[in-house]
Amino acid sequence: MKLLEEVQLKLVTSLQGKDLLTLLDYTSEEVQSLVELATQLKVITKAGKCPALLEGKTLGMIFEKHSTRTRISFEVGMNQLGGKGMYMHARDLQIGRGESIYDTAHVLSGYLDGIMIRANSHEMVKELAEHANIPVINGLTDIYHPCQALADLETIAENKGDLKGLKIAYVGDGNNVAHSLVVGAAHVGAHIVVATPPGYECDATIMAKAQAIAEANGSTVTTTHDPVAAATDADVIYADVWTSMGQEEEAAKRLEDFKDYQINDALVAHAKPDYMFLHCLPAHREEEVATSVIDGPNSYIFEQAENRLHAQKAVLASVLA
């Protein structure tokens, strides 16, 4: 990591006032610049020099789902940048009693400088962004999790250096985390392989768009049902839970369908010796990942979780400053 005196903070000014709904809406240069800015902000923050770039700014944070990392990292991030994060659970707002997204967007636009929302429906978040006159940041929806992907890329870059040409293997459910990781990897020129059980593949349209971005950056997006093929010679192996929030009724079936996709010592033996294990958390040890892997020497999950703070500060500073 760079020394403090080597850090030259450079905001991604092209993103000022812009929503972050999906990394598909950003250019590869913008994504790469956000990753670099996140690392710069991390160095500066740890040195006690984080600038008050958002002094006087307020971010409204709407949650439809439970949260640990998203809520705390956004709130602390706004505080470190000199602004304020305001937590609002959807059930406590009139939106929870049937007020329209249209009305809510216009009302909040008169109070706030930006909105971060963790929602069940990506379509709802798109509607909110369409009618709001302030930036809307996707803190998680059923289709995308862009802030997680930025933190993932920051973590890999800090430990591997140049992201271009690395092989990232995602093994598990083709969900929102996978979608954003694939798009992010394509933007930075990393090769990514997604291994899922049959019937749990990533969205084909998203994958096609990511493939086009990857081709422009000299990398590849590949899908398979073979976890060993994905893990072979991988620089990074990534896992997520097999049953996400809202899918609890499918838990028993998913445990059966994913049983051959656990990231364990046998699987990671196919990766490079210095592979990184990543997981967006929360994790279920001995389900999607063996305890020996997630708590082993190649695991970077807590650094990855911390980097949510710095990656999101990069977005906040660029979008709201």
What contacts 276, CB < 8 A, 6 or more positions away? Answer: 155, 156, 159, 160, 235, 236, 237, 298, 299, 300
State yes or no: 109 annotated in a binding site.
no
Residue 284, Cα to own-chain centre: how many angstroms?
Answer: 19
Closest CA to 317 of 191, 160, 135: 135
Paired with 58 in beta bridges are 84
**What contacts 123, CB < 8 A, 6 or more positions away?**
none
Which tokens is 314 given? 């990069």
Is 240 assigned to a binding site? yes
**Cis omega (within 30 of 0) for bond into 282:** yes
Give the span between the Cα atoms of 72 and 82, in whole angstroms. 15
22 has binding-site annotation = no
Q: Note if 32 is an active site residue.
A: no
- Known binder of ligand: residue 244? yes
Per the CB < 8 A criterion, the answer to whether 21 and 138 are in contact is yes
Name the catalytic one among 152, 240, 310, 312.
240
Which of these is catalytic: 179, 254, 308, 310? 308
**Annotated catalytic residue 148:** yes
Residue 247 annotated in ligand binding: no
Active-site residue flag, 91: no
Could you say which of 19, 152, 280, 312 is catalytic?
280
Q: Is the dihedral of CA 304, 306, 310, 316 positive or negative?
A: positive
Through-space distance between the first and last CA atoms of the chain, rounded to whole angstroms: 25
308 is catalytic: yes
Is residue 245 marked as binding?
yes
- Residue given tokens 């991988």 in the structure block: 234
Asked if residue 68 belongs to a known ligand binding site, the reply is yes
Residue 308 among known ligand-binding residues: yes
Catalytic residue among 32, 40, 80, 148: 148
What is the sign, positive or negative, of the torsion defined by CA atoms of 91, 92, 94, 97? positive
| Residue 202, marked binder | no
Q: Which of 32, 40, 71, 118 is catalytic?
A: 118
Q: Which residues are annotated as a binding site?
A: 67-70, 94, 118, 145-148, 176, 240, 244-245, 280-281, 308
Q: Which residues are annotated as a binding site for L-ornithine?
A: 176, 240, 244-245
User: Would you name the residues annotated as active-site residues?
Assistant: 118, 145, 148, 240, 280, 308
Q: Which residues are annotated as a binding site for carbamoyl phosphate?
A: 67-70, 94, 118, 145-148, 280-281, 308
